Every structure is written in structure tokens, then in C-alpha cells.
Amino acid sequence: MNALASTFKNMACLSVLCFSLFSFTQNNSKERKIVKAVDRYAENAIELIKKSVNMNSGTMNFDGVKEVGSLFKGELDKLGFKTELTNGDAYGRAGHLIATRKGKKGPEFLMIGHLDTVFELESPLQEYTMENDSIMKGPGVADMKGGDVIIILAMQALKEAGLLDEMSIEIVMTGDEEKSGSPLELSKKDLIDAAKRADIALGFENGDNNPKTIVVARRGSTDWELKVKGNPAHSSQIFTEDIGTGAIYETSRILNEFYVQLAKEKDLTFNPGFIIGGTSLNENANGTGGTAFGKTNVVAQQALVRGDLRAVSLEQLTKAKATMQNIVSQNYPKTEAELVFSSGGYPPLSLTEGNTKLLGYFNTVSEDLGFGSVTAVNPRNAGAADISFTSGYVDMAIDGLGLTGGGGDHTIYESGNLNTVATQAKITAVLMYRLVHSKF
């Protein structure tokens, strides 16, 4: 009797599940249209990724960035967006692609991508290759031309389902995400202005390359420069009252104290990217390195270190800066040091209640469409990105909606799983439909 009861119970559960799936399929005709439209355009989307990946758009290759912008502009023009390729001369970059549509219902959406990659014209990686039937390797396939195409594919599906006209959407694909122009306030002005108009921001970076995660908080990034001076002298006089310890010992003290006092701070990192020291220094004009002259029997007169600092909140960033400055001020004998933080950099995308709620909505759609649950990315695994500039302006923001499932970002091994293109587009389009029609 217990076995029979158990059988009936299992059958009842199965019936409830089948009814639930049947109900979802039958009672959401608009959502079914969205899903079918994504499937219909998916193959074209893959071809668009391939075409764009084969266009070199390293940040400093302005012609290439503009070429990719024109390619995506043409696709958005077909969908009735008002599009513009902006001029980036004022901040020393190629410019951005901006596309807008004004609807009559629901929240204002901001969708964020970028046209540029880290792969400049001298990179050995210039074209895509297929590792197998689904994994594509290529420059910017994941970061983030795949994400840009997912935006376009989602818009095509909404158009096909007769839903696009009712939505208010602004798409900003920047031309300098990988290497921001200067001054930063001009470089990011279009993006920040769009954020001020928006209610919800959706970023299409590839997150931590796991399709089961979404970014609700990102760490910000700022650069720092440490300059240290000491007294040059014969090495036999080091540590004397008149000569002191020299620039290299003082630099070592500072960097070690950074580690001792801050390394255990959750989600905070500070990386010295390069260091040179000796009797004299010769810096590269672009700030990426240099050379030093010195001899083993001479106390070092100068040292230079450049690095970055990443924090998950403005409060954490402020506290870390203060700690670092305090360490720098406590000099070894006969040395002096100066620590300067860049005025630019990316702000953190702080974790908010709205971001968490939007993740919940995204997760619900993913589960309803049969793609499984989605959780938040550990911010320690999410670097700086353009969506951070929406922090404080929009009610809700999430990132990581782009092409995922690969790896090797910013290297010649960068890849992505093309199977995630349709999946991410379906979830995105259905999410937007539900948000417009308050179906959560």
C-alpha cells in the first residue's frame, strides 16, 4: 500500500510539472514568439559574430573600431533604431555607437556593449577559428563582440514578436572600454547621460565566463604611481646616518606593507604592474615601463612603481587609499616617497537591492525557459566594466549577459561557446518583455 501511494504521489508530482510547463507554453504566446524568433535568427547572429571578430578593432585602431560600429549600426537601423556613430576626437578615441527607440510602456532600458578589443593590429590573433562545432576562438569573440550580437539578436526577436515598438531602449556600445580615452569625463559622458535617463541597465560583457552566473556587483579600478627617492652614494655607506637606505629598500618596505596591511581585505586587490629602480630612470612615454641604470656598488637614487587598485565599493576604495598613503608617509631614513592615484579609473558597481532583485527576475526567466538557475558572480571574479558608470543612476543593473562558456580573455586563447548566444538572447528578450508588462 505504501509503494502504491508513493507511485501515485510521484505521478501527481509529474502531472503538476507537466501542467506547469504546459501552462507556460500555452499561456505566453508572446514569449513563445520571442523564443521562436531567436531560433530563426540565431544562425545569422553567428555569422555576424564571425564577421565582426575578423574586423580588427583594437582600441587604438580607430578605423577598425568605426568599421565594427558601422556593421552593428546597419543591423540596428534595420530594426528602426535611431543610430549615431559619435566622434571621439575630444578624448582621443574612435567614438561610440548609440542607438535609441522610444516606446510607450514600461521602464527605460539601457543596454551596454563595446566595439573595441585588446587585440591591436600587431596582435598575433586576428581571425576566428572553430575549436569544435560550438567553441569559437578569436579576438574579442567573448569580450565582447558576442555580447554585442546578443543585444542585436534580442532586439530582432522582440521586433519579430511585435513587442519592440512599445519599449524605450537606448543601446550604447563604447569604442574605448578596453583603454579609456582622456579625459574620462568626456570618454564616458554619453554612457553616463544614458544611465541618467534609464531605469534598468543590462550589460553584455561575458562576466566570469559561466552561463550560470550573472554580475550584480563589479569592482572598480584605479591606477596608482609610486615615486621614491634616496641619496646616491657608494654602497659601502648604505645605512649610515648621512646616506640612509636608498630608494629600492624604501620601495620594498612600502610594497611589503601594502601586502601586510591590505592583502586580507575581502574583494580588494592592489597590483604593482612594473617596477624600475637604480641611479637613473628612463620612463616610456606611454607609461607601460622603462629602463633603469644602476651599479651594484651604488646606493639607488630613484625607483618607480605603477599598479592598479580594485575595490568593490567607494567606501572600500577610500579606506584603501588612506591606508596606502599612510604607509608611504612613514619613510626609511633619508628617503622620500610620493603616491599618486589617477583621477580617472572605473568606479565600482556597488551591490544594491535593485540589482539583487533584477538578478532574481533574470533567474526566474532562465528557469521558466528551461535553462536552469542563475546565481551572482563573486565580485572578486568580475573586473571593471562600462556598466559601473551606471552605479547611482539606475534603479537596477546586472552584467554578464553576453557570450560565455569560453575563457582566455585578453589573450590569444580567448574563446566563447556559441551555444550560449541564443540562450542569452532568449532570456534577455523575455526578461525585457516581462519587465515592460509587469509580469513578475
Question: Quick one: 251 and 353 in the same domain?
Answer: no
Give domain status of residue 335, yes or no. yes
Query: pLDDT tens digits for 65-116?
Result: 999 999 999 999 999 999 999 999 999 999 999 999 999 889 999 999 999 9
Q: Give 10-residue mean pLDDT values along the chain (440 residues).
A: 39 39 59 98 98 98 98 98 98 98 94 97 95 96 97 98 97 96 95 98 93 93 96 97 97 98 95 96 86 96 96 93 98 98 88 96 98 94 87 96 91 95 98 94
Give domain status of residue 364, yes or no. yes
Question: Quick one: 33 and 140 in the same domain?
Answer: yes
Task: Look at residue 207 in the predicted model and tell me its pLDDT.
Answer: 87
Query: pLDDT tens digits for 389-402?
Result: 999 999 999 999 99
Task: Look at residue 289 in the predicted model and tell me its pLDDT.
Answer: 83
Task: Look at residue 12 in the predicted model and tell me its pLDDT.
Answer: 38
CATH number at residue 90: 3.40.630.10
Domain enclosing residue 87, as ranges: 29-218+349-436
Cell of 253: 618596505
Query: pLDDT tens digits for 143-198?
Result: 999 999 999 999 999 999 999 999 999 999 999 999 999 999 999 999 999 999 99
3-state secondary structure the chain: CHHHHHHHHHHHHHHHHHHHHHHHHHHCHHHHHHHHHHHHHHHHHHHHHHHHHCCCCECCCHHHHHHHHHHHHHHHHHCCCEEEECCCHHHCCCCCEEEEECCCCCCEEEEEEECCECCCCCCCCCCCEECCCCEEECCCHHHHHHHHHHHHHHHHHHHHCCCHHHCEEEEEEECCCCCCCCCHHHHCHHHHHHHHHCCEEEECCCCCCCCCEEECCECEEEEEEEEEECCCCEHHHCCCCCCCCCHHHHHHHHHHHHHHHHCCCCCCEEEEEEEEEECEEEECCCCCCEEEECCCCECCCEEEEEEEEEECCHHHHHHHHHHHHHHHHCCCCCCEEEEEECCCCECCECCCHHHHHHHHHHHHHHHHCCCCCCEECCHHHCCCCHHHHHCCCCCEEEECCCCCCCECCCCCCCEEECHHHHHHHHHHHHHHHHHHCCCC
Question: Quick one: 214 and 238 in the same domain?
Answer: no
Task: Look at residue 5 in the predicted model and tell me its pLDDT.
Answer: 39
Give domain status of residue 3, yes or no. no
Task: Look at residue 14 in the predicted model and tell me its pLDDT.
Answer: 39
Question: Quick one: 228 and 278 in the same domain?
Answer: yes
User: Distance (Å, rounded) from C-alpha 316 to C-alpha 73?
Assistant: 39
Give domain status of residue 7, yes or no. no
- Nearest partner of 207 among 80, 112, 333, 132, judged by Cα: 112
User: Distance (Å, rounded) from C-alpha 51 to C-alpha 440?
Assistant: 37
Give domain status of residue 312, yes or no. yes
Task: Look at residue 27 in the predicted model and tell me its pLDDT.
Answer: 54
Question: Quick one: 273 and 387 in the same domain?
Answer: no
CATH number at residue 282: 3.30.70.360
Q: How far is CA 69 from the centre of its chain?
A: 19
Out of 306, 321, 341, pick the residue that ends a domain: 341
Task: Look at residue 288 in the predicted model and tell me its pLDDT.
Answer: 79
Give domain status of residue 115, yes or no. yes
